[in-house]
Amino acid sequence: MARVVELTYYPVKGCAGASVSDAVLRHAGLTHDRSFMIIAEDGAFRSQRHSPRLAVIRPEVSPGGEQLTLRAPGAGVVSVDVDLAAPRRDVDLFGAPYQGIDQGDQVAGWLSDVLGAPRRLVRVPPEHNRVTDGETPGTSDYADSCPVLVTSLSSLDLLNARIAERGGEPVPMSRFRPNIVIAGGEEPHIEDRARCIAIGGIELGYAKLALRCVVTTVDQESGAKTGPEPLRTLAGYRRAGEGVAFGAKFAVMRPGKLAVGDEVIVSCWGESEL
């Protein structure tokens, strides 16, 4: 019997996540997930692809979303009242134009000092309406694409066994920055074939495989790049087109509540794309 063993949301795109025992899932993902985004002066989004040090910034959002606090080693703390009324500004996410609400000079100055370059923080506007692609379309805030990323411990176990065969060190699940981690299914990469998933009061619809990038090579505790793993090993058995895959992305078919320990029920299956 498969169950949820980890739930994580990432308030600021690219920064550290917050693990929780229960959560509310919206159509756009877990509450507060990727609600904020760091941008350069030209509006282009910044992530660990560009700034691995983002991993050490630890955000905390108040339960109602009214206040955001950021912490980083050696940089202290900054807290801001979340502004939803400021003028919108143009932002760029993977070449697509969206809008963001600038959160002011105080947090922008703090981020610029931590990251060593001019940066600003934007909040997704309430009117944001971004449609995601895949087998099941959905919507999301500032996530890379689909609103929910699911991985399994059996998939990680297989990956780490193969890394060990090459003489490498195992990687933690945090490298893949999932929202939902499941355990109890013996088959690795079972998430690839799950098409309809019910957990607690929510339902997910399969969208596509999660293609992985250089962010998986960043140590999420130190913000330092660590070498070729896990991409090197994934390239040997998880090739998907021009990339490699680990985990699967889902759209939210029914929002609601879910918790660590909830049973994962797959009501329909498909064939893996690999």
Each residue of 84-121: pLDDT tens digit? 999 999 999 999 999 999 999 999 999 999 999 999 99
Query: Which pair of tokens denotes residue 1?
Result: 């019997």
Q: What is each CA distance from 106 to 169, 211, 212, 220, in whole angstroms?
A: 40, 35, 33, 25
User: Is residue 186's pLDDT more than 90?
Assistant: no
3-state helix, strand, coil in the chain (%, to 5): 15, 40, 40
Q: Residue 165 gets which letter from DSSP? A: H
Q: Which domains does the chain have, with CATH numbers?
A: 3-29+132-269 (2.40.33.20), 30-127 (no CATH)
User: Is residue 24's pLDDT more than 90?
Assistant: yes
| Unique residue bearing structure tokens 């087998």 | 135
* 36-76 residue pLDDT tens: 999 999 999 999 998 999 999 999 999 899 999 999 999 99
Work out the percent of the chain whose per-residue pLDDT is above 90. Answer: 96
Q: Which pTM does this prediction carry? A: 0.96
